[in-house]
Structure formats: C-alpha cells, structure tokens
Structure 1
Amino acid sequence: MTQTRAASLIAVLTALLAVLLTPVPASAASLQEVTGFGTNPGALKMYRYVPDGLPAGRPVVVALHGCTQNASGYGTGSGWLQLADRWGFSVVLPQQQAANNSSACFNWFQTGDIQRGQGEAASVAQMVDRQLADTGGDASRVYVTGLSAGGGMTAVMMAAYPEKFAAGGVVAGLPHGCAQAAGSPYVCMYVGATQTPKQWGDRVRAARPGYTGPWPVLTVFQGSADYTVKPVNMTDLMRQWTDVHGADQTADVSDTVAGYPHQVFRDPAGRPVVETYSLTGMGHGQPVDPGSGSEQCGTAGAYLLDVNLCAASRMSRAWGLS
C-alpha cells in the first residue's frame, strides 16, 4: 500500500470513528394530543408539552390561546414551551374547535361554558386532572393563563375551579362574569361593565358557592392602545380579585418594569394577590420579547407583540417557576 493511500485510508477511518463516537442528542419533546381525558362536555381538544426527562413533582401551566389561534402556535409564540424546557414544567394547551366557535375563541361569555361542572370549563378542569395523573405533577403548583378569549376563560377557571389553581395570568382578557354584567360580550370588551368591587367579587364567589379559599392570585397584562379589549377590563379584573382576596384597590407598589407601569396589590396579611402591567402603546396581543436572555421568550407574530417584555417570563418568575 502506498504511503498516500494509507494516509487517505487513515483519514477516512478517523472521520468515520468521529461520527460513530459523537453523542447523538436526545430527541426533543414535541406537542402531543391527548384523547380520552374525561367526558369533555365542552368538546375541546387537549394538547400537552412535557420536556424530555421531566421528573415527577413538577408544576403544570395551562395556556389558553386567543381567537384565530391554536394550541401549537400559541404555545410556541407566547414562549411557554421555551420556558417549560428552560425551567422544567409541563404545559397543557386546550384547543377550541370550529364547531364550538367559528373564530376559535373560547366561549368565556356563554353561561353553559363557564359554570363549574359544565361545558368548556369542565373540559379544561378534566385536562388538568389527566395531566397531573400522567406526569405526577405537583397539584399545589398548577397555573392557568391565556390571551384575549383565553384570558377570559382564565378568569373563568380561577373562579369556577379555584382549588385547582395557585395563580392565574390574564393577558388582554376580561373579568369573570363580565358579559353577564354588561349584558353583552361586546359591551364588556369595548366599554366595560358598571360594577362595584364587591359586585365583581360576588360574581367570583357565586361561581364556587361555599368555597373558603385560598383563592388564586392574579397577574394581568394589558395594552394601553388595545381597542379590542379596552384597558378598563384590567381595572375591573383588579377590582374583582382584590375584593375576592379581601384587599383594597390602592396599589402597595407602583413602579415600572421594562419601562411600563406596574402595580402590586397586597391583602391585609401583606401577601401580593394582584399584579398589573400596563403596556404603554401596545395593541391587542400577548407581550413577547424574542431572544435567549434570561428574561426573554416568545416569537413575534399575529397577536404576539414584541414589546421588549415577555409576559410568560414575568408570570413564571411571579409563580416561582424559574
């Protein structure tokens, strides 16, 4: 064998050995549909994301998409799947079906879908139970959040199933019972409903008669230039949930986060129970901040607005997921 041929053969063998010895990365987790999760009276679809190797005892986040969106697009665009990998929790992603709502909106305004044990609210609750059973998740660390109609349904879940959720995050959404209080979902969205804090709180208490707590704590994100869901709805969410927690409507903290007005409301024991972010100049959508920084997450797109603040990251930190 000539010296040149020998050298060539050694080079080939070396390259082949390098390929064989290079570790093959584990396959990345993917979104999976789950069927048979319960009686599913709201006829929703259930998707979930479980990071590879996730141990038992980890938190669960339920993320509800907005109108015209779907589970996959919202899970990725909002940043929740990215954060699940980063910080180690699983995500449940309910998906609306066209047969229920032609615009793919969750029916936060339909009486039959927002009462405990009925319709879409009951379907989402069954998804939580299935996820906890399958993953061995921590039942004391389950959180619910959503955008727009998904935000309205978030408030529904916090009211109708308060024992299931430690906290909720409403993004450009509505108070529980707003459509009924205003007489129309559109009046609620565009004008708001005239209710005192106690009247707002009574709507939550009526959703779970006899419940003595603890109630979920609330974080709200709202664009100041949102003409689809007017900013008064964030004020009414604050009034509703401070009243539920026995707190007043005077902020205990008023500062800025990423340049945006931010307030915290505490209960008489000093515990933060409502937190609000007013995104100056932002329209209707989910705040995201694409990038790999520790506070960054999400992907910009329709109703996923790059405003240099990622709502999912802020919620994760408030809830201790990070």
Structure 2
Amino acid sequence: MSGRSTRRFSSFTSSRGMRFAALLLTTAAGCGPLEAGAPEEQSAPSASDVAQVESELTQVTGFGTNPGNLLMYRHVPASMPASAPLVVVLHGCTQTAAAMENTGWTAAANVYKFYVVYAQQQSGNNSSSCFNWFEPGDIARGAGEALSLKQMVDAMKSAYSIDSTRVFITGFSGGGYMVPVMLATYPDVFSAGAVNAGGPYKCATSMNEAFTCMSPGIDKTPTAWGDLVRGAYSGYTGARPRVSIWHGTSDFTVKNSNATEAMEQWTNVHGIDQTADFTETVAGFPHKEYRNSAGTTLVETYDLTGMGHAVAIDPQYSFPGSTSVCGATGSYLSDVNLCASYYQAKFFGLTGGGGGTGDTTPPTVNLTAPANGATVSGSVTLTASASDAVGVTRVEFYVDGALAGSDSAAPYELAWSSTSVANGSHSLSAKAFDAAGNSATDADTSVTVSNSGTSTPVTVSFTSVAADDGYIKANSDGSLPALGTLTGLALGRGTDAKFNRSFLSFDTSGLPDGATITRAYLTVAYSSGSGDPWASPAGNTLVLDVKTGTFNAAATETADWGVAANASAVASIPKFTLGTTNSADFASAGLVAINKTGKTQLRLRFTQDQAATAYLFVQDGANAKLTVVYTP
C-alpha cells in the first residue's frame, strides 16, 4: 500500500471516520440505514451486472504520476473520426467504473462517436470507494485526485485524436461533487460538466463539513460561492465551463438544496443572474436554463420530482440510429422515463454529429380536438397530430399546465374527465417528443367546461390518519400474524417468508351527507423495496379494498387480515419504483363504501402471494392521500 493509501485509510479508522464512511456509502447507495425489521436492501451492483458491462472497458496503466492513486478505464467505439470529443465519467461511493456504464454513456458513445474515460477510486484511498471531494489535498489544481483525473485526459490526448475544446465530465453523488472540483481547478481542460446528486465546489473541506454539506446543506451567497471557484485557479481569465445540474427532489442523502447552491455558484461564475431565462417541462420534470445576453445556456437544472438519490435513466429509449438503450435498471439507477446521459450529451453538444442521426429538429405537433374556444362537458377526448422525420416517441397532454396523461402511438389520444375541474375556462396543450429527444409544444387551445344539469364538482383530498395505519405480516403457514412496526407500510413478502398487507385510514367525515361521490383515487408514495412483487408470480396486481369505517374498532390489529371489506379490489395501483403514483379510479362499489360520517379505511394487498422474497414499502401519514370528487 502506498503512503498516500495508508494516509487515506487511516483517516477512517476512528469511530467518527467509520461513521462517515457509512454515511458516504449511503450517499451513493441512495438509501439510508435500514429500519428495524426491514428486509435487507442491495447496496451494490451484483457481480453479474458488473461482468456484463466490464467487457467494454479497457484498463489503462501508467497514465502519469497519478498522485491520487486512482484507476483508469477507457471505452473506444469502433470507427472513430479524427478530433473526436472525450467524456470523463465518475462513479458514486461503493460503485465501480464498470457499474457506471449502466447509466448509458458507453451506449451514447457508440452512437455519437466520442471517447469515454471511466475513473475508479480504490478502497485503499477511501474505505467506501468515494472520490475524496472534501479533502483539500485532492481538490486543488496540480495535486491529488484532481491531478490524477487531469492526467487521464492527457493520456487520452496522447493516444488518440481528441478535440481539446470538447472535453467534458459527468459524475454521480461523490463523483457528482468531484465534477465541480475539476471544472473549478481545470477550466482550461473541461468545456462543460454535469452534476448528478452532487453539490457546489468547496462545499466541504473537511470530514465534519461534509456531513453538513450533504444534509441539510450549506447556504452561501452566489458571490461567496463564485469566489471559491475563482480562487481555484487564480489569474485565469479564459472561458468557464458550462454546467448541467440534476437532482432528485426526494433525495434525502444529498439534499436537493445542493442543486440550488450549485446553480448559484456557477451562474455567478459566469456573471449571469439567478433568474431562469427559459423554463419547460421535460418528461414531466421541471427544466430551467440560465443564459447570457447572447442567448447561450451556461447553466441548466433538472428537478427530478419524486426521485431519490440516483441517476435518471430510461431503458425504453433507444439512441437514434441504433438498438442501444439508455441505461439498465440497477442499484442507484432510477427509471423515470428520462435519459440523463442523452440530455447531458445534448447539453455538451455531442448529439448533433458523429455516427448518430444528428437530428436536432423538433417534431411538429397540433392539438386537434377539442377546438379552441369549444365548450365541453363530461368525458372529453383530447386528440393531437404529431410527426417527425426520426419518429415520434410520445405525446403528452396537459390541462392548465398539469400533465394529464400521454399516448405513445398514433392516433395520439387521451380520455379526460372534465368533471375533475371546475366549470369555466381551462387551457389545453400537447407536447410531442421525437426519438432524438427533441420536443415541441402546441399550447394555443382554451376550452370552457360546462357540466350543465349538475352542480360544480368539488375535489377534496384527505391525508392518511397515521395512528390508524399499519401493516400485518401474515404467516404463510396460517398461524397468527404479527403487526409490523416500521414507519413505512409493507406489501409483498419479506425475508421472513410472511405475506404483508397494509392499512390506510382517512377521516372522510367532512364530506356532506348529501354529496354524490363521482370519483375517488388513492395517491401513495414509494419508500423502498426489493425485488419485483408485481412479477412474482407473473401477473400479480396491487389492489385495494374499502371499508366503511375501519376493519376493527381499535388501531390496526392482527385480525384485520381476514375481515371482510365493504368493497373489494375497487382499484389497482400501477407498478412504480420511486416518487408517487395514483391508483386507478375507484369502481362504483368503492365510491359507495366511502364513509361520509366517519373514517374510511383502505386495505392494500397483492392479489397473489409472492413466490419469492419481494416487497414494496409505501409511506403513510401526509404522504398518502385519498382524493374524492363529489357534487353537493
């Protein structure tokens, strides 16, 4: 072990250091410490996952003095042109270089023809294999890990024909914090960078500060943040790198306040203000751009609503002109139907040439029905026409700016219930996406909702009554089940071979006695999970039962497992692995069972027992909502 490795390892041998190592592990892992009694979650990619992708990487040794003692891997696509770009990819804690291929960068490189360097930390330098983004000796120009990463770029330039003006860097979590290190210390090397679940440069310069930096975050003025970057390479007067910032709004490991601070830092570095010059929604997620006076986007942010600590992927998306898809599901990768590697490559300017289609032309889209100015009522079919030279992948429909649904095949249609909004004027729009990720919006339609002959519908949401919520583990052998004790509510089958059902209570006594309930649905939030309970056995479905009142007079009890409901399987809940989702609308029997004079209790269950260990945890309390639409 080198002297440097010995120094790094010994810094984690104290109890405080070991605690920090555990924290850094969860920083990349995307999950906090396990709740008591919870099935154990995967904390790293499986050996088969790593072996599957590692074949595309070649290790490079002797790439410089390597003072940071890092490992270097490269990916070189076939038939590379002269003066090709280079992207450096940095993993998170507990991860490897090979694991980061599942974020889609190798697939993108094969299509768009750019080189990729995957850097890898060694456990001898950091016991959780985190890049040392908080160590002063590793985040300064000409020293430590920062210099090692720069030497990897130099080695690639010596070996291949690389355009020095098109060198980029992206990273996740600990690697996400290391990206601004490289942009600040080597602005003469990197033209742009992408930060996934990271934070601003010099958010921490010690182990203690790193705790606070990750959560709850550190607040500085934009100028103070900018000064830290300017001080990293004093006297530098050249162009500064552009920055793309991606963060899940439900990231409780690295709080998303880090994204705001990073935006403030880099807008200040570029001499622009902190007010977005362009705002749109991409695949349902807010996207903001901060531009200079010439209209060039220098900083952009993606707020990944409901996503935790992870990299956004979309395995259903194929890179243009190929069968390669954007990433593969696995540890710390969230399938949110948004391909971060594609949009970051697009921000870098890599998608307009090379071996891909070079398509930068957005599709055409037109909301054809209902007509602008029309008066509508009841169920309304929203219809759009869309076309594109490469191909339209989906059309999203919006009502008053809120996503109502989407259709992925022509004719593009969506059934919308106008009773879900009040009578009066409402705006409708359609947004089309093509296979290259370009999008276009038609937002010039306004309709008047008039549900004549009935009173104006009223929508009300009830939050879960946490004291009455709970879950029951029913023994597979028929013996007495036991009550669950976790904050999250379990569904499926855990490692103890017991089957789980959960109960959510809502005080619906605020509904008028004479109200006619026309619609109801449940909103639940993902907490954690393991395996795929929907697919074990095949065709398994998550449904809910409704009880007028509660399944038992007291709080959740073991006998509730077998109590008859007033209405069974009134709605299903689609498969989801992060954020929140809505159930289908309740069947008529479920609407009748909603209690207007007291509590309404819902029992969530899978229709079939799991053939293997698989479970889902959902949140209760304020994170579970029953929405009821009624006419007085």
What's the TM-score once normalised by structure 1's chain length? 0.89
**From 336, 355, 358, the counterpart of 1:307:** 336
**From 188, 199, 205, the counterpart of 1:163:** 188
2:60 is equivalent to residue 49 of structure 1: no
| Contact in 2 for aligned 1:182/1:194 (Cα 8 Å) | no
| Residue pairs, 1:127-206, within 5 angstroms | 127-180=152-205, 184-206=209-231
Corresponding residue of 2:111? 86
Secondary structure of the 1:121 match is: helix
Secondary structure of the 1:291 match is: strand
2:126 is equivalent to residue 97 of structure 1: no
| Contact in 1 for aligned 2:135/2:206 (Cα 8 Å) | no
- After superposition, the C-alpha distances for 1:114-153 in whole angstroms (9 at most, x for unaligned) are 0001100000000001111111111110000000000100
The percent of aligned pairs where both chains have the same amino acid is: 52
| Contact in 2 for aligned 1:155/1:176 (Cα 8 Å) | yes
Q: What is the alpha-carbon distance in structure 1 between the residues aligned to residue 92 and residue 314 of structure 2?
A: 18
How far apart are residue 171 of structure 1 and its match?
Answer: 0.2
| Contact in 2 for aligned 1:261/1:278 (Cα 8 Å) | yes
- Cα distance change of structure 1 residues 130 and 200 upon mapping to structure 2, 3 Å threshold: same
How far apart are residue 254 of structure 1 and its match?
Answer: 1.2
**From 208, 232, 248, the counterpart of 1:223:** 248
- After superposition, the C-alpha distances for 1:159-214 in whole angstroms (9 at most, x for unaligned) are 00011011000000010000139961010000111210000000000001011120
| Contact in 2 for aligned 1:182/1:192 (Cα 8 Å) | no
How far apart are residue 292 of structure 1 and its match?
Answer: 4.6
| Residue pairs, 1:35-46, within 5 angstroms | 35-46=61-72
Moved more, 263-272 or 64-73: 263-272
Q: What is the alpha-carbon distance in structure 1 between the residues aligned to residue 129 and residue 343 of structure 2?
A: 26
In structure 2, give the amino acid aligned to 1:152.
Answer: Y
2:63 is equivalent to residue 34 of structure 1: no
Q: What is the alpha-carbon distance in structure 1 between the residues aligned to residue 159 and residue 58 of structure 2?
A: 13
- After superposition, the C-alpha distances for 1:246-298 in whole angstroms (9 at most, x for unaligned) are 00000001111010011000123332110000000000011010135347511
| Contact in 2 for aligned 1:159/1:176 (Cα 8 Å) | yes
Secondary structure of the 1:100 match is: coil
Secondary structure of the 2:84 match is: coil
In structure 2, give the amino acid aligned to 1:143.
Answer: F
Root mean square deviation, CA, Å:
1.6
Corresponding residue of 2:85? 59
- After superposition, the C-alpha distances for 1:62-83 in whole angstroms (9 at most, x for unaligned) are 0000111100111x21100010
Q: What is the alpha-carbon distance in structure 1 between the residues aligned to residue 241 and residue 180 of structure 2?
A: 10
- After superposition, the C-alpha distances for 1:209-258 in whole angstroms (9 at most, x for unaligned) are 01112000000110000001101000001000000000000000111101
| Contact in 2 for aligned 1:242/1:267 (Cα 8 Å) | no
| Contact in 1 for aligned 2:134/2:206 (Cα 8 Å) | no
Secondary structure of the 1:178 match is: coil
Corresponding residue of 1:320? 349
Structure 2 unaligned residues grouped into runs of 5+: 1-54, 352-632
Corresponding residue of 1:68? 94
Q: What is the alpha-carbon distance in structure 2 between the residues aligned to residue 231 and residue 181 of structure 1?
A: 21
Secondary structure of the 1:141 match is: strand
Q: What is the alpha-carbon distance in structure 2 between the residues aligned to residue 205 and residue 38 of structure 1?
A: 27
| Contact in 1 for aligned 2:313/2:326 (Cα 8 Å) | yes
Q: Which runs of 4+ in 1 moved over 4 A?
A: none
| Contact in 1 for aligned 2:111/2:319 (Cα 8 Å) | no
Q: Please tell me whether Structure 1 or Structure 2 has the larger radius of gyration of its CA atoms.
A: 2
What's the TM-score once normalised by structure 2's chain length? 0.46
Q: What is the alpha-carbon distance in structure 2 between the residues aligned to residue 210 and residue 230 of structure 1?
A: 33
Q: What is the alpha-carbon distance in structure 2 between the residues aligned to residue 67 and residue 308 of structure 1?
A: 24
**From 140, 147, 154, the counterpart of 1:122:** 147
How far apart are residue 86 of structure 1 and its match?
Answer: 1.1
Corresponding residue of 1:12? none
Q: What is the alpha-carbon distance in structure 1 between the residues aligned to residue 208 and residue 95 of structure 2?
A: 26
Corresponding residue of 2:545? none
Corresponding residue of 1:26? none
Q: What is the alpha-carbon distance in structure 2 between the residues aligned to residue 134 and residue 210 of structure 1?
A: 30
- Cα distance change of structure 1 residues 200 and 103 upon mapping to structure 2, 3 Å threshold: same
Secondary structure of the 1:59 match is: strand
RCO higher in 1 or 2 (8 Å CA, sep ≥ 6)?
1
The answer to which structure has the higher helix fraction is: 1
- After superposition, the C-alpha distances for 1:79-112 in whole angstroms (9 at most, x for unaligned) are 0001010111010011000000111110001000
Secondary structure of the 2:94 match is: coil
Q: What is the alpha-carbon distance in structure 2 between the residues aligned to residue 258 and residue 73 of structure 1?
A: 25
In structure 2, give the amino acid aligned to 1:298.
Answer: G
Secondary structure of the 2:130 match is: coil
Secondary structure of the 2:318 match is: coil
Moved more, 50-59 or 246-255: 50-59
Q: What is the alpha-carbon distance in structure 1 between the residues aligned to residue 68 and residue 207 of structure 2?
A: 24
| Contact in 1 for aligned 2:134/2:207 (Cα 8 Å) | no
Pairs aligned (count): 294
